[in-house]
Each structure stands twice: as C-alpha cells, then as structure tokens.
Structure 1
Amino acid sequence: MSNATKDLAAHGVSVWLDDLSRELLESGDLQKLIDERGVVGVTTNPTIFANALSKGDRYQDQVDTLAKNNADVDLAVFEITTDDVRSACDVFKPLFDSSKGQDGRVSIEVDPRLARDTDGTIDSAKKLWATVDRANAMIKIPASVEGLPAITAVIGEGISVNVTLIFSLERYRAVIDAYLAGLEQAKAKGIDLSTIRSVASFFVSRVDTEIDKRLTAVGTDEALALKSKAGLANAQLAYQAFEESVATARWSELAAAGANVQRPLWASTGVKDPKLPDTLYVTELVAKDTVNTMPGATLEATFDHGVITGDTVTGSYAAATATMDALANAGVDYNDVVNLLEVEGLDKFEKSWGELLGSVTDELERAKARVSE
C-alpha cells in the first residue's frame, strides 16, 4: 500500500524528524515512526532539547546523578543531550547500515553561543563528535560567516556535518565551497572520503513569513499576489545551485575519490500560515538527493493526506527566478530579508539555549535538595 512518505523515498527524498526527546526514545515511539512513517533520520536544536526537558520526569535519575557529582549546568546539558543523541544513533543504526551511511543520521548542534567564534565552534564540534562516538552522528554548525571556515576544518577532520541556518543563495554557495574545501583537506590527509556525509539545511517557511509581512505592508494587488511564493522559489533556486555544483570538474575529482554529495535539506517546513496547505513545503520540494526534516505535525499531515506527484523542483527554475524578480520589483529587499533571518535565527537558538540552561539549573537545584534529604 502506497503512502506519501514511501512516495517521497521513491523520488529520492529522505524523511527526517525535527524532534527528539527521551520520551520518544524510551516509549518506543521513535521506532514506531521509523517503522510506520518512514522516518530515516532526526535533527535536533536547542529549542527541541529545551522542550524535551520541560516535559515529564525521564531525565530525573540522570539529573540526580549529575547533582550528586556536583556537575555544573554546562556539563549537565552536554551530558544529557549527547546521551539522547547517542541513544537515537543506536536506534537508527540498522538504517544507517542498510543505506550505507546516507541515512540513519542524528544531528546535534554546537553551542549556539559559539556561532561567531570559528575556533570555539571547531573545538565544540570535535568534542561532540568524540563524546557521542557514533559514526551516524552529524554535528550541526550554523552557516554564519564565522561558521564557514569551521565547516571546512571539521569536514577536513573526517567529521560529518549538518550545516544549519541557511537562508540566502549566496551563503548556500559559500557553504558548498566550504564543504568541498573540507573534502579536499580530508583527501590530502588520507581520510576515506566515503565516510564523510553532509547536508546543507536551507530554511523555507521563515522566508515566507518575513517576506509576506513586507508584501502585506506594500499592499498592492501585485504584491499580495506574490505572498507565500518566496520560500519555495528560494529553495528551488538553491537546488539549482546544488545541481551546478555537482556538474563541476572540482566535484568530479572528489567524487572519483569516493566523496558523497552534500544533500540539500529542507528545514523550517512547518507551515506558519493556516491559509496554506499544511504539506506545502513537502509536496512542492520533491527532488532526488534531498532531505526534508519535518516537525511531528507536518510529518503526520504528510502521511495522512500528502500527495506526491514527482519532482516538483527541477523544472521550476525559470518560474522561481521570475518570482524573485517580481519580489524585487515590489520593493522587497532580498538581502535585507535573509540577513535579518540569519540574525534572528542565531538569536532564537541562543535564547533557547539560555532557557535550556535555566531549566537544567532549576532541575539541578531540585536534585540537590532531594539528594540531601
């Protein structure tokens, strides 16, 4: 019996879940999503971990142990999150093996407070990789200007990387270059390139949210007719950039040495506007060698009523270019939009990290009180 998630897989799209918690792991619900919904990977971020720790008591025993050992909050957060990611990697190990390393991946992000610190990001990525100690882990590094050389250095050490928070086509091309440069460094060191995997997380719905707000402010019929078109057009042109990158002699040389393509990953695929189809950023972004990471609600909507009609990307480049030109003519400053979204994205993750630290601090204090009773 066919379903949308199986249809996505048939067209080269890997379905990853944008969520992780100890509840998902210990209840068996993550395994159910693998078996019944075709989920083949997981992505995490500070917001996801903050939400996970705020629900239930499945972290209590570990927090009690950490408190007893006088762990500070940074160590506690590190231990808790890496344990969850390690456990998820073990759940996905059969998929990792059967896909020969392409899927079965679990991403964990470097401390977002390091987004403007290249050396700090490199050190954090290496520590996370060594601590999780699973070949199917991926280290998430934001695509800030300072993150680009960190991506190259970490890939150059043979570590698999999920590049996150990409909004602009210009930055995406820089991410591709950073990946290729990292592969070249790894090759020079004699590292087996076939063991390195990477995805580039291109954000979708946030682009529409910001641009639609600006189009509403313009208010003309022409501007209003462009609402909810920018996110898809931007992503479709990103895929065009991906295709161009793998058609180069530089890539051919790396591929011949065993390198894997850095797959585009569609992130921020939950629809924010209730007037839009809730599967919009799934059904309209179908192309081979891509990943769609979905929050739970989007995954369920796709499974329930998503209709996959085939590749909805590679024939769209002319129309997508026309959309972006029309947005510029309507007065939308693309560069201002994507720069704002990057700043907001980094701020949001840092705020969530702060909330996570606050929650764990409170839990440690309660645990100390329990231990002393």
Structure 2
Amino acid sequence: MTESFLPFTRPTIDEATIAAVADVLRSGWITSGPKVQLFETQLSAYFGGRPVRAFNSGTCTMEIALRIAGIGPGDEVITSPISWVATANVILEVGATPVFADIDPITHNIDLNRLESAITPRTKAIIPVYLAGLPVDMDRLYAIARNHGLRVVEDAAQALGASWRGQRIGAFGDFVSFSFQANKNITTSEGGCLVFSNAEEATLAEKYRLQGVTRTGFDGIEVDVLGGKFNMTDIAATIGLGQFAQIETITTKRQDLARHYFAAFGTDFEMKYGAQLPVADFEHSNWHMFQIVLPDRIKRADFMAQLAALKIGTGCHYPPIHLFKLYRARGFTEGMFPTAERIGRQIVTLPMFNAMTEGDVDRVVNAVKSVLQQE
C-alpha cells in the first residue's frame, strides 16, 4: 500500500462540533453572541476564574495588552528573536521599539540573563515566548518584572495546556495571550484569547476589541478610546467549545506522542547523528510541537525537501525576526544574536497532531535518521 502524505500538523474537528457549527449557522446569530460568552466563561473557569476575553486572533491580543499597559512611542519592549514575526510586529504597531535578547541554546526560549541585561530606563514591558509550548522559568521572569516595574505580556500562543510548577499557564501572571489558529492544540479556525489579572483591564479590552464602543440600555452608545475590529464570531467560538472540551485528552495524547518520539530516536541519536532533540520536559510543556535542530553540515531546505519526497511534512518555526528586511531597516544585523541565528537557521518542526499514531512517529523517525545518515 502506498503511504499517504503525513503533514506536520492537522486539526481534528469531530462531527459533534461540525453539527454544532451548522446549528449556529441556522440560528441566524453568527457574529459575537452567546457562544462567545460561553467560550469565555469556560476559559475563565479553566484559568481559575480569571477574566478572559476572546478575539479574532492571538496577534491582536498582544497589541491590545500593550495598549492597555500604556506602551507607545519612546518605550521599549523586550522579546525573543525566535518567534512568529507577529510577536515583534505588535510592538511596532503601538509605536514602541522592539528590543531582542538572545535565546537559551537548550530550551530555545528567551535567555532570562540576557533579557535582564537588555533592560534600560526606556523598557516598559517584556513579551516572553513559550516556544513549542514550553514556558520559561516563570518565577524568575516575574521576579525580574517586579524588580524593574515592568508589565509582562506572555506570548503563550502555543502554550494552552502547559503549566508551571503545577499551575496552568494563564492561571497566574499579568497579561497572558493564547492563539487558537488552525495549527494550535485547540483551534477556532482563527482566533485567540487574553487572560487578565483584573476586571478593569478586561473591560477596557472589550472597548479595544470593537471600535472603543460602550453600550448602555437599548440605545446608549459611547466611544472614548480608539478601538479596532477584533471580535470573535459565534461560529469560531463554537469550534472552540468543541475543541476545548477535549483539552485534557489532547494534551495527554501529545505528551504520549512526544514520549514515543524520544523512545524511537533513542538515547544515542544526538551523538550518532549530530542533531539536537528538544528538552524532554513532561512536567511543564504541552508539546505543541516536536522540533529538532539539524547539524550544520546539512541545509534545512535540503532536509525538508528529502522528507517531503518521503511524503512527510515539516515546518520551520522560526526564522530569526531581526534578520527580516523590516527589522534590518531598524538597525538589526547578523551576528547580534548568534544563538538565535544558529537555531533559527537549523530548527525543523516534525509532525505532531492529535490524529497521529505511534506508527506515524516511527515512520518520521526512520525517515529523519535515513536522511541524516546520507549527509
């Protein structure tokens, strides 16, 4: 039998969710309404009762958090150069200056030592990124923020279901942003949510979410801030409700797949093939992605092409943000963040999604070893 193509990710939408979406379409109420409110209520309960607001992307949640925190022109925000470019773009969007700190060579998250040394009198916030669903040292992160009077906007886009020392990411901290984009552990097709530490900022976020509008009574309407159009639809929320009901099962499945990856690669993989495996963290990570770092002797594009020829999809998460033209124009150059540049050049995301089997993992591992052995 000819093997089918194995993508690096694929959402699983069950029939009950598809039927629920059809019911919403038939109801006539398809924009923000009762399903969004229910989704927010369930998310709030999951995060220990903290205020949660849903949006049409995980990107806008970070921008709105920065606006609520009063970040703007003249301010600096420190973040990681290894992330989806949106993490830095939102800093530019509010008129502030992005400052990068190099990453840890093992976790691939921002190096907190370098983060602290990057703080200046203009620094007003930090955006840590939890790559592949692995948090940074949260105790140290917030100690740094407290010591320097900084706001924290957690880019937890990939970290729903992750935790820190027994507490769910999102159940504590300052602003916590999650994404429900199609490749995330749970999806709303497109969407995101923002978790708040207080109700006042959640109310302000509602204004930023929809044109700055506040409604009262039947016809009362007022606008006192410049908002945008960032609301989630009931269609998207209904998908999210179906997905979110399975969050524990999904997280457990991904952990099981990650464990099988490690078993299949074996304890001698790094020494024998020269590639780096991820941190085997089964206490904190939700295993959003399983990534390896290739040895310098092989070009990533060649490796990905050879796996594609074997009908296995891969991903690149992520090229260093500071080397994009938009950021080079702002003075960033090669050599500024050498660890991020090396990892960003050689990191590859292997298939990881809920419908995968252990046989799929074995197939990927055998293919990876075969390609590396030829180089």
- Bin the TM-score by the shorter chain: 0.3 to 0.5
Give TM-score, length-normalised by structure 2.
Answer: 0.37
